[in-house]
Amino acid sequence: MATWTIEEPKQLTFDEVRRLRVRTVRGSLSVVGTDDQARLEVTDIRGMPPTVRYDDGVLEVGYDDWSQPGFLSWLLGRRKWRRHAVVSVAVPRDCPVDLGVVAAGVVVSGLRAEVRVRVMSGDITLAGLTGPVDAETVSGSVEAHAVAARLRMQTVSGDLTLVDGGGEVHARTVSGTVTCDLAAAGSGEIRLSTVSGDLVVRMPDRSDLTVRLQTTSGQISSAFNALKRTGRPGVQVVEGLLGAGTGRLWANTTSGNVALLRREPEEPAVGDAR
């Protein structure tokens, strides 16, 4: 095992990284998939210096008193907030990553492997990921762009946004808006829920979904005539079958509105015009 205590800005390179685990407090964290050599850069260090450990392809970044059994138990200790570092990591695209941050923003892009991100207070940005993704923040937003596989997003206070999604989606927030723009719809399950926020879904005209939209005290609007209003007193429901109905869209909010929009076909490029 190789170990470094990072007391000043430092760059490290690694011949092979098969798994990445990061636990930081303040600052920022970015992880990107690369076809080049794996590398780590730590800058803007304040308070206790972070530790880097490398053992048989496993790269870990954190602090000497981190708790191996779990992130939350590590947070319950004392003097955890006197730590600040800006961490940037480039790893192979097939490297699974497990990231935990107390109060900082996290950006992850260009990976094909599993991604897990947990943040106490801060925003999460995800881009170009094709493996399963689990992103959770207590106070902050989650933005996902072109995430093609299973995506789970959760926050207590913050917005959840998916652009050009194409796989299974589970998104849940207590106080915030969920916006889901689907490039394709019909092969998986899409479950969206809020307590006091709105739900906005845009999907292609030709979608294969069984749809159920529900709100208790809000309003529901749909651009798809095949969906019909049902429900009972005190609960509004719009549901029905689109196309073959092979996938499922379930959107539920207590006091928010639900809007289902139609995504128009893209205009052909100028050179393709007939």
The most confident of 112-126, 172-186, 218-232, by mean pLDDT: 112-126
Average of per-residue pLDDT values in the chain: 89
Residue 81 has pLDDT above 70, yes or no: no
N residues, the chain = 274
Total-model pTM: 0.90
- Which pLDDT does position 205 carry in this prediction? 86
Distance from C-alpha of 179 to C-alpha of 186, rounded to nearest angstrom:
18
Note the pLDDT tens digit of each residue in 24-56: 999 999 999 999 999 999 999 999 999 999 999
Distance from C-alpha of 55 to C-alpha of 37, rounded to nearest angstrom:
17
Could you state, in order of their start, the residue ranges of all structural domains in the chain? 189-264
- Which pLDDT does position 166 carry in this prediction? 79
Note the pLDDT tens digit of each residue in 192-243: 999 999 999 999 888 899 999 999 999 999 999 999 998 788 899 999 999 9
- Which pLDDT does position 232 carry in this prediction? 80
User: CB-based burial of residue 232 (10 Å sphere; 0-12 exposed, 13-18 middle, 19+ buried)?
Assistant: exposed
- Which pLDDT does position 65 carry in this prediction? 64
